[in-house]
Every structure is written in C-alpha cells, then in structure tokens.
Amino acid sequence: MNQRMSRRTFVASGGGVLLVPPLAALAQSSPQLLLRRSAKPVVVASANGNKSEDDSGATCVSKAFQLMTAGTDVLDAVIAGVNILELDPEEESVGYGGLPNADGVVQLDASVMHGPLRRAGAVACLEGVRTPSLIAKKVMEQTDHILLAGKDAQHFARNAGFKIEDDLLTEKSRSLWQKWKRSAEQSPFLTPKARAEAWRRAGQAMVAEGLIDAEHFHGTVNCIALNAGGGVAGVTSTSGLAWKVPGRVGDSPILGAGLYVDGKVGAAGSTGHGEAAMFTLASFLIVEGMRNGKPPKDAAMAALQRVVDNTVEKRLLNNRGKPNFNVRFYALNTKGDFAGVSLYQYSEQGKRAQFAVCTQDGPQMAMAESLLPGRPTD
C-alpha cells in the first residue's frame, strides 16, 4: 500500500544517513528528561512532508528522522524538517511564498509542543519572518506564555534576533493574489457577508481552474515524531487560508486544534479546513481517544465523524448534505503506532489522500484512510 518517493531518491541505509551535528539544546535551563521505554523511531507528516527538499535532497520527514536518530532533540528535529517547507518559495501553503490574505499580506501561524518537557509555544498572524516555527519555539523557551500574535509577535521575533522582511510574497504568490483580487472585488458596495462569499467563490474558481492546488488553498504542514526513547513532539506551520480576512487565525497555532502532544500518550495534528478542527478541538480529541485505549486510526476517524456531526450550516454542505471541504488528521502514539486519515478519499482535484512517513526503511508516502468516499465537491 505504501510507495516510495517519486522525487529525488533518498537512501535510508546506514551509509546514506547524513551526518548532521545535533542542534542546540532545547533550553540550557530545562532538564533533559530520560525516558525508560524504548520505541521504534518514526516521523509522520502531511503529504507535503515528502515534497520540498533541502540542498542535500532531504525532505521534511527524512530530515527530521536523520536528526532525531542522530541524537538531536525530537522537537528540534521536526522543526528542522518543517523549516525546509517554510523556506521553499514553491510551497504555497507554508512560510515564504505562502498565499497571502485578502490585502496581499502573508500572515503566518505556527505551534510547537514538546512531550517530555511538557512545554509549548505558538505564534499567530506573524508577518515578515519566513520560519514561524522557530519563533514559536522561542516563545516556548523564553517566555512564560504560549501564544503571541500580530505585531507584538513580530516585535518579539526581532528582539530574538530574527530578520524581519517587508514582504514575504514571491512573484508567483503575488501574481495569484492579483488575479484573485480582480475576480473577487466585484463591487465596493457589497455587505461584509456578500463580500466574504464573493471572495470564497473567486478562490474556489481558481482551484477549479487548476491555478491553485486544493491542498494549498487550505494548506498547512503538520509533522509529529517519536524517538527511540519514547519522546514525542510536534509542529504545525501555515500561511493559512488563501485570501483570508486579515487577522484570521486558523487551527494551526491553537493547542488542541491544529496540534496536541501528550508525552505519555502521543501526538496528533491537522491540515485542511481549519475552522472545523478548531470547533471540534480535533487534535486534543484524538489524543484523548488514544489515552482511552483507541488505536491512532480509530481515534482520528472518530474526530472526523465529530467534524461531520458538527457541520450543519447549509453553506458548508455539498449536494449530499456532507461537508463541502476536506480535513486531514495525523496521529501517533508512544508505542510507535500511527495513522493518517482524511474526511474524503480524494481532493477536489481528484488526488488520492496520502500522508508522509519516515522510518528506518526511509521516507514513504502512505495512503490515508477516509471516512467518506469521493471528493468534497461531489
């Protein structure tokens, strides 16, 4: 059922592992907790976790696995993997080059959670920094808080030594925004509700035309991992919904929605329609399901059913009376069991639902289990 990566070949044998020195310790003042159990290391991510590559050809999941198995802290490892996507100008749903809000401004959200240390950090509506996951980690390390937002999150990043850029748009993302703007701004006299509907229709039309991948319209990267000592951590990073209302915050920086980690149980994360994950606190729900004995797949499928049960507004339903959007969850327990699930079997553009995995056998794409057949638009 799994298939090897179709992009640049990655050798996962002992001779193919990159020798990368460990990253800086999570925080010098934080005790390093020794876990007594052993586990088979694994990294699980959204499908784009096996897409973007660094200069060595490593993807998000393979980079995280390399670092983690070489002794790097489990959270530092997954963040380093996610940084590959955040810095890739061709990745339209994360970091630099991410699709902007309705004003043409790239606003980024991210969260991180460290299971052994029981700590977390997050940022929302962050502008001018390509790697919001690193700022979220700084919030975790250097403050008594969990979430910083907007201009103050940017000010915090500047004080932490990060470069603040005036514009994170690429030529491609700017061109797509300009095309959307011309289609969406039909009249200056629309009510806010009518304007929001016009914005949504214009975005969906671009997806239908193939100008935007459906996965990028609601795009995000989630990456969760388990190391050999049983330590688990996770990160979620996104540029958010394409053409969103300025200031909109999705599920990615909200603990329990886009990401949740419990060091004794496991981790879960979300990509896709953020509001659905927020309303159901899906990631927390999945972890609690695993705490109560459910395998990762069963816990994640129960969260998908909760999404369906809570989607009742007509504007959010398709002709079958089911959600007209997609959402995907990723789950991993401390035994090393994992799963990726999707509300629908296929994306709006007919792509089979998949997720990325890396084990000692190397990085692979795995088929996601689905709750509903077909596509959201069927």
As annotated, the active-site residues are: 220
* CA-CA-CA-CA torsion sign (191, 193, 199, 202): negative
Instruction: Quickly tell me which residue has 């969990």 as its tokens.
Output: 146
Q: Where are the alpha helices (DSSP H) in 95-131?
A: none
Element housing 111 (H / E): strand 108-114
The answer to whether the CB of 354 falls within 8 A of the CB of 368 is yes
Angle at 163 between CA 161 and CA 168, to 5 degrees: 150
Closest among 98, 78, 77 to 86, alpha carbons compared? 98
| Total Cβ atoms within 10 A of residue 171 | 9
d(CA 369, CA 367): 7
| Total Cβ atoms within 10 A of residue 249 | 20
Angle at 140 between CA 138 and CA 143, to 5 degrees: 85
Produce one character per residue of 259-296: b if its CB has 16 or more CB atoms within 10 Å, e if not: bbbbbebbbbbbbbbbbbbbebbbbbbbbbbbeeebbb
| Total Cβ atoms within 10 A of residue 237 | 32
Angle at 276 between CA 120 and CA 217, to 5 degrees: 90
Report the C-alpha dihedral over residues 353, 48, 251, 347, rounded to 10 degrees. Answer: -30
d(CA 91, CA 75): 22
- Which 3 state secondary structure label does DSSP give 150? helix
